[in-house]
Amino acid sequence: MQDEPRPDELIKAVADFLRDQIAPQITGHAAFKLRVGINALDLVTRQLTLSAETDAEEHASLKALLGRDGSLLELNAELADRIASGAVDLSTLGVKDHLWRTTLAKLAVDQPNYASYRREMEQK
C-alpha cells in the first residue's frame, strides 16, 4: 500500500493548480486546450474516487438480475445480448432500475454537471 497522497489527490492537486494558477494567464486556443486537459484530469479523479464502489454495485446488480456470477465485463455483455435478442426488455423485473442506476453512476463520473443529472440527484 502506498502512503499518502493517493493518486486521486495528486491528480486533483495538479488540476486545481492548472485551473487556479495557470488558466487565468492563458488565452485563445491554448486556454481551450488547457481546459480540455483540466477536464480530463477531473474525470480521472472522479474515476479513481467513484469507480470501485459503483462497479461493485453494478456487478452485484447484474449478478442478481442475471442469476449467475461472472466478471463485470462478461455480465454486461450478457445483459446486452439478452436485450438485443429481445429476451430481456424494460418490462423485465429489475432491468429498468439497473439501467437507470448504472446510467446515473456513469454520469457521476463522466458529466456530473449535466443539468438533467443534477436535477435527478436533487430529487433523490
Residue matched to cell numbers 439497473: 98
Residue 2 has pLDDT above 80, yes or no: no
17-71 confidence digits (pLDDT tens): 999 999 999 999 999 999 999 999 999 999 999 999 999 999 999 999 999 999 9
Distances (CA, A) of 114 to 36, 49, 63: 16, 19, 29
Where residue 1 falls among pLDDT bands split at 50, 70, 90? low
Residue 73 has pLDDT above 80, yes or no: yes
Where residue 104 falls among pLDDT bands split at 50, 70, 90? very high
Predicted pLDDT at 3: 78
Distance (Å, whole) CA 63 – CA 16: 39
Mean pLDDT, to the nearest integer, of 91-111? Answer: 96
| Minimum mean pLDDT range among 73-77, 89-93, 100-104, 114-118 | 114-118
